[in-house]
């Protein structure tokens, strides 16, 4: 397996160098592209570390949402006055090196082989309602973490709406027009919807689940947003907020139901565990997709280039 170890060595060496390149380049545009590269090399590292779930989320959220989110920063980033205090690069360097040295010393001192919680997870797998251990941990053993995490997403949605309200930006959106991105969205968006459904269904017995599916659906939505086929998320519309909150409210309903009968919070009945998890995941996909789409409010799209009506031919 020397080639395998060589790949590991190459990836392990490149990651910190790429990270340093992302952080050190003064030009934001170069930093964004390097950040995308870092995301992809990280996906390969997750693949080598036998963590397909994380590779899937890294690919879905990294290339799908984070890239577009950072691109939306380019137009206004330069005009932002820097933080007041002058940057203390040397002090930060000394501090970072000290922190890394201590943490490295601790990691080296960790015992070589630890079984971790694998036996416990696999032991209780058949009553968890799903076959894939990571989904069992996410939506049954530690589902309280996932519930709070969905609330964190809703908190981000409220914050973005509070900071970048729609008010009049919605009127300044360019009207839909035939464009290259329109063609692209025609071809890719149906695929994205299919893959999202596939990922949710697959989550029960193989890597997949609500987050990956939500991110893929959101990426399809982003394509439609830029192709002017889809209007930006109208957070003011109650129906939209209802769709956004359906996921968390259903999750809370399932969580509270056992309390009424004297059971414990989020205690899924064994017979219904699989069905309940699938139902929660399916509704959560909508919530996650809506929140990820809210990262591109009307203001961001109003400043984007209107689709060119005609193809400019060079002189």
Partner 1 sequence: MAELRAAVALFLVLTVLVGMIRVARGPSFADRMLVALLMGTTGVAVLVLLAASPGAGALRDVALVLSLLASVTVVAFARLAASGREPAAGPAPGHPDAPAPAPAAATVTVTATVTATAAATDATAAAGADAAAAPEPPP
Partner 2 sequence: MSAWQLYALSGLAWFGVGMWGLFAHAHWVRKILAVNVAGSGLFLVLAALARRATTPAPDPVPHALVLTGIVVGISATALALSVARRLAEVEATARLDEDATHEPAAPPAGADARAGGDAAPPPAGGGAPP
Partner 3 sequence: MTALELVAGALLCAGAAFFLAGTVGLLRFPDVYTRLHALTKADNLGLGLIVAGLALDAGSVAEALQLGIIWSLVMVSSSLSCQLVARAARRAGVAPWRRR
Return the residues of window 89-128 that contact partner 2 according to CB under 8 A: 89, 91-93, 95-97, 99-100, 103-104, 107-108, 110, 112-119, 121-122
Among 68, 130, 138, 223, binds partner 2 (CB under 8 A): 138
Task: Looking at residues 22 to 81 of the shown chain, list those that interact with partner 1 (rule: CB under 8 A).
Answer: 29-30, 32-34, 36-37, 40-41, 43-44, 47-48, 50, 52-53, 55-56, 59-60, 63-65, 67-68, 71-72, 74-76, 78-79
187: contact with partner 3 by CB under 8 A: yes
Choose from partner 1, partner 2, partner 3, none: what does 15 bind? Cβ within 5-8 Å by kind: partner 2
Report the distance separating Cα 47 and Cα 49, nearest Å: 5
54: contact with partner 2 by CB under 8 A: yes
Among 117, 180, 236, 306, binds partner 3 (CB under 8 A): 180
What stretches of the chain adopt beta strand conformation (E)? none
Residue 305 in 3-state DSSP? coil
36: contact with partner 2 by CB under 8 A: no
232: contact with partner 1 by CB under 8 A: no
Record the tokens describing residue 284, joined without a space.
Answer: 């959560």
Record the tokens describing residue 144, joined without a space.
Answer: 């309280």
Choose from partner 1, partner 2, partner 3, none: what does 67 bind? Cβ within 5-8 Å by kind: partner 1
Task: Name which of 4 and 114 has its Cβ closer to partner 3.
Answer: 4
* CB distance 43 to 215 below 8 Å: no
Report the distance separating Cα 282 and Cα 49, nearest Å: 28
Task: Looking at residues 120 to 139 of the shown chain, list those that interact with partner 1 (rule: CB under 8 A).
Answer: none
Q: Which residues contact 133 (CB under 8 A, 6 or more apart)?
A: 118, 121, 122, 125
* CB distance 230 to 297 below 8 Å: no
Size of the site for partner 2 (CB under 8 A): 100
What burial class does residue 173 get, using C-beta atoms within 10 Å of its C-beta: 0-12 exposed, 13-18 middle, 19+ buried?
middle
* CB distance 60 to 215 below 8 Å: yes
Report the distance separating Cα 180 and Cα 230, nearest Å: 15
Task: Looking at residues 171 to 200 of the shown chain, list those that interact with partner 1 (rule: CB under 8 A).
Answer: 171-174, 181, 184, 188, 191-192, 195, 198-199
Choose from partner 1, partner 3, partner 2, none: what does 127 bind? Cβ within 5-8 Å by kind: none
């Amino acid at each position: 397996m020397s080639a395998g170890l060589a790949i590991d060595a190459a990836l392990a060496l490149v990651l910190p160098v790429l990270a340093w390149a992302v952080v050190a380049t003064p030009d934001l545009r170069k930093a964004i592209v390097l950040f995308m590269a870092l995301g992809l090399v990280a996906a390969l590292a997750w693949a080598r570390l036998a963590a397909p779930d994380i590779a899937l989320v890294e690919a879905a959220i990294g290339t799908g949402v984070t890239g577009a989110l950072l691109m939306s920063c380019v137009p206004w980033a330069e005009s932002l006055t820097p933080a007041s205090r002058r940057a203390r690069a040397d002090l930060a360097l000394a501090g970072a090196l000290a922190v890394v040295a201590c943490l490295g010393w601790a990691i080296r001192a960790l015992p070589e082989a630890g079984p971790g919680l694998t036996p416990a997870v696999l032991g209780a797998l058949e009553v968890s309602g799903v076959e894939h251990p990571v989904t069992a941990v996410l939506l049954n053993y530690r589902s309280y973490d996932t519930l709070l995490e969905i609330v964190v997403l809703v908190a981000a949605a409220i914050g973005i709406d509070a900071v970048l309200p729609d008010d009049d930006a919605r009127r300044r959106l360019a009207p839909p027009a035939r464009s290259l991105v329109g063609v692209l969205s025609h071809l890719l968006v149906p695929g994205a919807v299919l893959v999202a459904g596939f990922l949710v269904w697959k989550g029960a017995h193989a890597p997949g689940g609500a987050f990956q599916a939500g991110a893929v659906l959101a990426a399809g939505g982003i394509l439609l947003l830029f192709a002017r086929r889809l209007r930006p998320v109208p957070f003011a519309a109650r129906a939209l907020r209802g769709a956004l909150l359906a996921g968390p409210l259903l999750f809370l309903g399932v969580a509270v139901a056992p309390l009424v009968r004297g059971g414990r919070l989020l205690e899924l009945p064994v017979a219904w565990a699989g069905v309940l998890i699938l139902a929660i995941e399916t509704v959560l996909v909508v919530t996650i997709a809506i929140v990820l789409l809210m990262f591109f409010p009307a203001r961001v799209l109003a400043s984007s280039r209107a689709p060119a009506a005609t193809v400019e031919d060079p002189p």
